[in-house]
Amino acid sequence: MAVRPILKFPDPLLRQETVKVTEITDDIRSLVQDLADTMFAANGAGIAAVQVGAPERIYLVDAAVAGGHEEDPPVVFINPEIAWLSDETETKDEGCLSFPAIFVPIKRSLRARVRAMDLKGQVFEMEGEGLFARALQHEGDHLTGRLLIDFVGPLKKELIKRKLKRDALEAQDSDRP
């Protein structure tokens, strides 16, 4: 079990260019295990590799969010691509582990289908609705460096930046002996 630190905005690594996974190596398997541990520890619905500073195109979605049982392992999406998005949309508040305690209303397709590879190297497709579809779109955005803050206007952008800066300073203060 290895929980990795989650990068918080404005860490520039959240905008780094991501790379396709060409082979499922032991390093990839251990990255995925760490992502699962990190997501679980942070109580997240999903996590992208880029959020722990890894450039690989990988994200995980919580099993319950993906329509499975709570105790199942998270669903792993490697080199995911959106195969289809419904025209029907839904606007709901969305959070992100890289923006603690920040919620932004975002309009998303109500249903989404993603094609990806699993840890055995098998290609699969999965379709989701509501929160699952939202997670697929949100995590997919991470792989192109698109973040929550890109969906808001200039005023709210400033507020978010200020709040995260204040939180980071407070965290620094409380770390001091």
- Pick 104 or 116: Cβ nearer Ni ion: 104
- Pick 67 or 95: Cβ nearer Ni ion: 95
Q: Fill in the amino acid letter for 120.
A: K
Cβ atoms of 49 and 59 closer than 8 Å:
yes
Q: Fill in the amino acid letter for 35.
A: L
Q: Fill in the amino acid letter for 119.
A: L
State in angstroms the smallest separation of the CB of 24 from Ni ion: 24
State in angstroms the smallest separation of the CB of 66 from Ni ion: 16
Q: Which residues pair with 104 in a beta bridge?
A: 94
- Pick 25 or 91: Cβ nearer Ni ion: 91
139 classed as catalytic: yes
The one catalytic residue in 23, 94, 139, 158 is 139
Cβ atoms of 137 and 108 closer than 8 Å:
yes
Window of 6-14, 25-33, 89-97, 103-111 that interacts with Ni ion by CB under 5 A: 89-97
Q: By Cβ distance, which residue is nearest to Ni ion?
A: 96
CA distances from 38 to 6, 67, 72, 113 (A): 8, 21, 16, 25
- Pick 96 or 133: Cβ nearer Ni ion: 96
Residue 150, phi then psi, degrees to nearest 5: -75, -10
Q: Which of 45, 54, 96, 149 binds Ni ion (CB under 5 A)?
A: 96
Angle at the Cα of 66 from the Cα atoms of 64 and 69, rounded to 5 degrees: 35
149 binds Ni ion (CB under 5 A): no
State in angstroms the smallest separation of the CB of 129 from Ni ion: 19
| Residues with active-site annotation | 139
Site residues, Ni ion (CB under 5 A): 96
